[in-house]
Amino acid sequence: MGSLQPHRVAEVLFSEEQIQVRVRELGAAISGDFSDESEPLLLVGVLKGASLFLSDLVREIARPLEFDFVALSSYGDATETSGEVRVLKDLDIAVTGKHVIIVEDILDTGLTLRFSYLIENLIARHAKSVRVCVLLNKPSRRRVPVPVDYCGFEIEDRFVVGYGMDYAEQYRHLRYIGVIEFIK
């Protein structure tokens, strides 16, 4: 998929209603796991893909919390990893002594340098704990184990867009998650 190709959304994988039900369930699970309101809770969204998911999720967590965003890059171009993580936007909120939940749109191989970098970086900053919440999990592509504490949906190896996820910066605005088809 190195060069742009004609494409379209071929199938709705999860409707807006299905997503919202699952986000409410995830919010309830997190609320239950972190019911002690004296313990600081910080949700960290990974830009850009997790922005809509995080926005909906924080409204479903029944306790005080903070949230912030990071933007990291490990790709020299669109298809090949550079092997180096660049921080494009760092956290504005300190994590020391806080329970931190990384909120990500999709997890597939587990090899993404930026993901393991983020976990290690938060631990080095003295977060009290670090957990992972993903909207979509592709376990069939996993090559490196990654702890997933909260999972929206498990999916097969398909190219998906919508609800914050994109192809060439398109489709993020969709209220549903769809499978993209490349037209030859």
What is residue 13's DSSP assignment?
A: E
Is residue 175 a contact partner of residue 2, using CB atoms and an 8 Å limit? no
pLDDT in tens, 24-46: 999 999 999 999 999 999 999 99
Task: Please report where in the chains the tokens 């029944």 appear, as a residue.
Answer: 62
pLDDT in tens, 41-94: 999 999 999 999 999 999 999 999 999 999 987 655 444 445 567 788 989 999
Cα 27–Cα 113–Cα 93 angle in degrees, nearest 5: 50
What is residue 81's predicted lDDT score, i.e. its pLDDT? 47
What is residue 147's predicted lDDT score, i.e. its pLDDT? 83
pTM: 0.89
Q: Which residues are catalytic?
A: 108
φ, ψ of residue 178 to 5 degrees: the values are: -125, 160
pLDDT in tens, 107-165: 876 656 566 788 889 999 999 999 999 999 998 877 777 789 999 999 999 999 999 99
What is residue 7's predicted lDDT score, i.e. its pLDDT? 81
What is residue 80's predicted lDDT score, i.e. its pLDDT? 45
* Ordered domains of the chain (ranges, CATH): 16-155 (3.40.50.2020)
pLDDT value at 176 more than 70: yes
Query: What average pLDDT does the chain have?
Result: 88
